[in-house]
Amino acid sequence: MEEKLVGSTLEQFEAYVKDMLFLKKADANMYSPLVLAYIGDAVYELIIRTIIVNHGNCPVNRMHKESSSLVKASAQAEMVHLIMEELTERERAIYKRGRNAKSATAAKNATITDYRTATGFEALVGYLYLNGEKERLIELVGHALQKKGIFGESTSKFVSML
């Protein structure tokens, strides 16, 4: 019952924002992989920052360092490798489209392989977000973080990092 209430509240909030800002319904299939990665980058960072803030009040500099370590290209590349076997055929196709997209920007502090893999991950995140598949998005990110040993049933490792 509580999950349904939370879900409907989130849906109500999103509907309110779309209405107030005159936003049209987004069809994730109509966007290029790089546009999906653009929004996916922001959504993924918001998820990570939300988790970090939720796990304790500490100096913002420490929060920033921890979130940066989880959103950098090499960390995103690791995330997608951890969940690859869980992806559906459609999700893999979206990831591959993002990974193979030709970007005008270059990796700053990452290998080209990690950068392209991270772009594929971000495209998948963006697709799931725009397509309204937020539960699936959180499920995949949560599984990757658990497999990475960052958090799960026991958050002690994560909290000690902060």
Task: List, by residue number, the catalytic residues.
Answer: 41
Interatomic CA distance for residues 17 and 13, integer angstroms: 6
Q: Is residue 100 a contact partner of residue 160, using CB atoms and an 8 Å limit?
A: no
Torsion of CA 88, 14, 41, 97, to 10 degrees: 40
Rg of the Cα atoms in the chain:
16
Q: Is residue 86 a contact partner of residue 136, using CB atoms and an 8 Å limit?
A: no
| Two tokens, residue 5 | 């209430």
| Two tokens, residue 27 | 């069809």
Amino acid type, 21: L
Distance of CA 108 to the CA centre of its chain: 20
**Crossing angle of helices 60-71/33-54, nearest 10°?**
140
